[in-house]
């Protein structure tokens, strides 16, 4: 199978090597096409976003208004803060110029004269690598005003690297824009959507790193060729980041629609100690987990995973063997979302904290029967009641993990809970107050 995003070419991160293998030929071709023709070609290819939502890339580009005097912007989302996801940094390190070329073509297609590449602050190594690649592209006349002479065009785009401060919430597109503007990373209410009012109130399009890295191949080889790779409704290759209890964790580029069991057992070498699989989270920590005994026939594309009761997300496959303590897993995930909640929406700000406290109490051996139903109730009250999707990201692991592995959690709860009095007088220091289980109606 041909690798499109991470081909096995040594030193592809060097500009001369990238150009030797056809680099920036797609940009030359695209700049001779009309923007509408490029958008139509990307639409026909079936390219869908690789950042989590799997939305049609060409359709998103078409939302950009064509008749406006306001400046337009393109943002490349390289925040990659989703636990279990580590694919974008592979592009930053091993094939940054393909991302830059894809961003150049996307900028021309939507009419953006300024492009921001947003990278999370913890990615210090990869920040330096991307800046080095941008500097080389500018020096070679592939970006900025010099590109007019290089490509023989009137179009020019300035491309900047913007470093985040390490907030998971800034992976959400409107928070990302707030961060670029120098504001606190708060999500924005939609509508208006970014294509109507984005950066500084101007039309803006946001694409994932891996999404734009596919664009040069589509321009060079055509939409029909690309649309025949992998799953029919979710074509192309996907970078799958496999982690957890596998023998060969790493990033594997495979056609969409590849069997989940094939990725785990053939490409990732199988489970450590040849143990059984208890659970798999197929798309990063925010996606609903799948039971290990329900993986047969599940394919890694958006539609197949939706039918299986989960989602493709970022393609981060987290494998847990038969000895995994799922309560500890779920507490750790909940702790992350509690810590990373921006605090703007009450259901998320308070609900994530409530869920984490319940998990801590259960881990301390003080769980009570009603806790499981209480956790699901809190998750349901978070889901759908927040400005951005972090609410769903925090709620889904809890409600689906408990629903699909309830027997795993019931061993942590008892008939009653004993709490020490909050303000004890001397004579009550060694006493406890039993409280009956919480009952949901």
Residues 164 and 27 in one domain: yes
Contact 380, 346 (CB under 8 A): no
Q: The CATH number of the domain where 55 resides is what? A: 3.40.50.11540
Residues 219 and 145 in one domain: yes
Residues 217 and 70 in one domain: yes
3-class SS at 321?
Answer: strand
Residues 130 and 266 in one domain: no
Non-local (6+) Cβ contacts of 396 within 8 A are 286, 287, 288, 379, 383
User: Within a domain: residue 174?
Assistant: yes
User: Within a domain: residue 375?
Assistant: yes
pLDDT score, position 267:
98
Final residue of a structural domain among 302, 321, 340:
321
Q: The CATH number of the domain where 268 resides is what? A: 3.10.20.600
Q: What is the mean pLDDT of each run of 10 residues along the chain (441 residues)?
A: 95 98 98 98 98 94 94 97 95 98 98 97 97 98 97 97 95 96 95 96 98 98 97 97 98 98 98 98 96 96 96 97 97 97 96 96 92 96 95 96 95 74 61 56 41
Residues 61 and 109 in one domain: yes
First-residue to last-residue Cα distance in the chain: 55
User: Within a domain: residue 116?
Assistant: yes
Separation CA 305–CA 294 (nearest Å): 12
Q: The CATH number of the domain where 349 resides is what? A: 1.20.1440.230
> SS3 sequence, 42-62?
HHHHCCECCCCCCCEHHHHHH
Residues 55 and 172 in one domain: yes
Final residue of a structural domain among 321, 352, 379:
321
User: Within a domain: residue 151?
Assistant: yes
pTM for the full model? Answer: 0.93
Run of H or E residues at 239? strand 237-244
- Concatenating the DSSP letter of every residue in 349-410 gives HHHHHHHHHHHHHHHTT-EETHHHHHHHHHHHHHTT-SSSTHHHHHHHHHHHHHHHSHHHHH
User: Within a domain: residue 441?
Assistant: no
Residues 298 and 330 in one domain: no
Residues 205 and 274 in one domain: no
pLDDT score, position 67:
87
Final residue of a structural domain among 200, 227, 254:
227
pLDDT score, position 126:
98
Number of domains the chain contains? 3
pLDDT score, position 211:
98
pLDDT score, position 439:
46
Angle, vertex CA 390, rays to CA 389 and CA 392, nearest 5: 65
- Concatenating the DSSP letter of every residue in 255-294 gives ETT-BHHHIIIIIS-SBGGGPPEEEEESSSTTSPPEEGGG
pLDDT score, position 414:
82
Residues 34 and 92 in one domain: yes
pLDDT score, position 299:
98
Residues 203 and 247 in one domain: no
User: Within a domain: residue 9?
Assistant: no
pLDDT score, position 430:
60
Residues 73 and 170 in one domain: yes
Residues 41 and 163 in one domain: yes
User: Within a domain: residue 105?
Assistant: yes
User: Within a domain: residue 440?
Assistant: no
Contacts 24+ apart (CB under 8 A), 243-247: 243/84, 243/86, 243/316, 243/317, 243/318, 243/319, 244/317, 244/318, 244/319, 244/320, 244/321, 245/271, 245/272, 245/275, 245/319, 245/320, 245/321, 245/324, 246/270, 246/271, 246/272, 246/319, 247/271, 247/272
- Domain extent at residue 44: 15-227
């Amino acid at each position: 199978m041909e690798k499109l995003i991470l081909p096995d070419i040594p030193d592809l991160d060097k500009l001369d090597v990238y150009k030797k293998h056809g680099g920036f030929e797609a940009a030359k071709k695209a700049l001779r096409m009309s923007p509408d023709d490029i958008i139509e070609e990307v639409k026909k290819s079936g390219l869908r976003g690789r950042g989590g939502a799997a939305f049609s890339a060409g359709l998103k580009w078409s939302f950009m208004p064509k008749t406006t005097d306001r400046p337009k912007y393109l943002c490349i989302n390289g925040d990659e803060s989703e636990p279990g996801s580590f694919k974008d940094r592979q592009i930053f390190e091993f094939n940054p110029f393909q991302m830059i070329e894809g961003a150049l073509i996307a900028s021309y297609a939507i009419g953006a004269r300024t492009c921001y590449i947003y990278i999370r602050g913890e990615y210090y190594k990869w920040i330096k690598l991307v800046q080095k690649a941008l500097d080389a592209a500018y020096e070679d006349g592939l970006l900025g005003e010099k590109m007019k002479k290089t490509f023989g065009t009137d179009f020019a785009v300035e491309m900047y690297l913007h470093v985040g401060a390490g907030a998971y919430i800034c992976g959400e597109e409107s928070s990302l824009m707030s961060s670029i503007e120098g504001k606190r990373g708060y999500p924005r209410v939609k509508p208006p959507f970014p294509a109507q009012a984005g950066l500084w109130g101007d039309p803006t399009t946001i694409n994932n790193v891996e999404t734009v890295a596919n664009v040069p191949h589509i321009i060079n080889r055509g939409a029909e060729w690309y649309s025949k790779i992998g799953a029919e409704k979710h074509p192309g290759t996907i970078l799958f980041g496999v982690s957890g209890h596998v023998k060969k964790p790493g990033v594997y580029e495979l056609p969409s629609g590849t069997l989940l069991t094939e990725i785990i057992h053939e490409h990732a070498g199988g489970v450590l100690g040849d143990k059984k699989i208890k659970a798999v989270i197929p798309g990063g920590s925010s996606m609903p987990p799948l039971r290990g005994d329900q993986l047969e026939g599940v394919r890694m594309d958006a539609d197949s995973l939706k039918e299986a009761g989960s989602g493709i997300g970022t393609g981060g496959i987290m494998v847990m063997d038969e000895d995994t303590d799922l309560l500890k897993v779920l507490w750790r995930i909940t702790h992350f979302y509690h810590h990373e909640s921006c605090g703007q929406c009450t259901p998320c700000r308070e609900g994530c904290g409530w869920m984490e406290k319940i998990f801590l109490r259960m881990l301390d051996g003080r769980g009570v029967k009603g806790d499981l139903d209480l956790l699901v109730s809190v998750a349901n009250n978070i889901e759908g009641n927040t400005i951005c999707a972090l609410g769903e990201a925090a709620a889904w692991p809890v409600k689906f993990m408990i629903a699909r592995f309830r027997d795993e959690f019931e061993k942590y709860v008892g008939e009653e809970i004993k709490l020490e009095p909050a303000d004890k007088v001397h004579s009550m220091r060694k006493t406890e107050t039993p409280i009956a289980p919480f009952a949901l109606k």
